[in-house]
Amino acid sequence: MHEQITQLDHDEVDLLLPWFVNNTLAGAQRQHVQLHVESCTTCQESVALLQEMQSAAQTDTAVPMVPLPRMNDLMSAIAMDEPRQTPRNWWPAVALAASVAAILLVAMLVVDNPALAPDSEVRFETATSGADAALMDYVMAVEFEPGTTAINRLQAFEAYDVAEFVAESEPDTYRIMIRLPVSSLEDLERVTNDMESHADIRSVRILALQLPIR
């Protein structure tokens, strides 16, 4: 019984060791851990490893120089954000959802009943055909040259506003969701050509595009 309590005590202390090492344990708790460590070689080894971990975490050489704060950009964002968004106004979201539901309902009625379809030719307007070209989401399959490192893959995308990495469908191919301010097909071609001219990118294919909701 006594041994079991001692064992539990050791496990409890063991879980607390990281905070013993980073010096954030409170007085009595710290004292308790300290006493245990002094008499437990296993915990002494753990403390040594944890001190190495702390040192490694603090001296991570991969962290680059910190850039200068972009205070002006932040202040511009704040100015655009005024007035503050609290309390949250949820009516626009409800109104948007109701509008979408109404449109879908009408569309279903039209599909189900050809008599309701307009006689004249239906004309579809794309988001890119108007003067107010918007940001659009494209799902692209980007194939990298074999052996391209993860860092180089990331760097290849840094020039673009990649919203989401959807999936890695096969080795060396990423599916990405990318947001582009494209106002014409020529623009789109230019962007894909830019991507394909990157040394690590073998090919770019557009799989789908998502129209913004207006």
Site membership for another protein, residue 120 (CB under 8 A): no
DSSP 200: T
Residue 205 sits at φ, ψ, to 5 deg, of: -125, 140
Of 16-24, 119-127, 128-136, 202-210, the window that binds another protein (rule: CB under 8 A) is: 16-24
Sheet architecture: strand order including 173-181: 162-170, 173-181, 135-144, 201-210
Site membership for another protein, residue 201 (CB under 8 A): no
What is the Cα–Cα distance from 31 to 48, expressed in whole angstroms?
Answer: 18
User: From the CB of 190, what's the least distance to another protein, in Å?
Assistant: 22
User: From the CB of 118, what's the least distance to another protein, in Å?
Assistant: 41
Site membership for another protein, residue 40 (CB under 8 A): no
CA-closest candidate to residue 209, choices 187, 194, 188, 195: 188
* Burial class (CB within 10 angstroms; exposed 0-12, middle 13-18, buried 19+) of 170: exposed
Kindly tell me which residue out of 55, 113, 120, 126 binds another protein, with binding defined by CB under 8 A. 55
Helices (H) and strands (E) counted in the chain, each on its own, are: 7, 4
Nearer to another protein, 58 or 89 (CB): 58
Kindly tell me which residue out of 40, 110, 141, 163 binds another protein, with binding defined by CB under 8 A. 163
Kindly tell me which residue out of 53, 103, 107, 116 binds another protein, with binding defined by CB under 8 A. 53
Biggest CA–CA distance in the chain, Å, is 91
- Which residues of the chain form contacts with another protein (CB under 8 A)? 14-16, 18-19, 21-25, 46, 49-50, 52-64, 66-67, 69-71, 73-75, 77-78, 81, 84-86, 149-151, 153-154, 157-158, 162-165, 167-168, 174
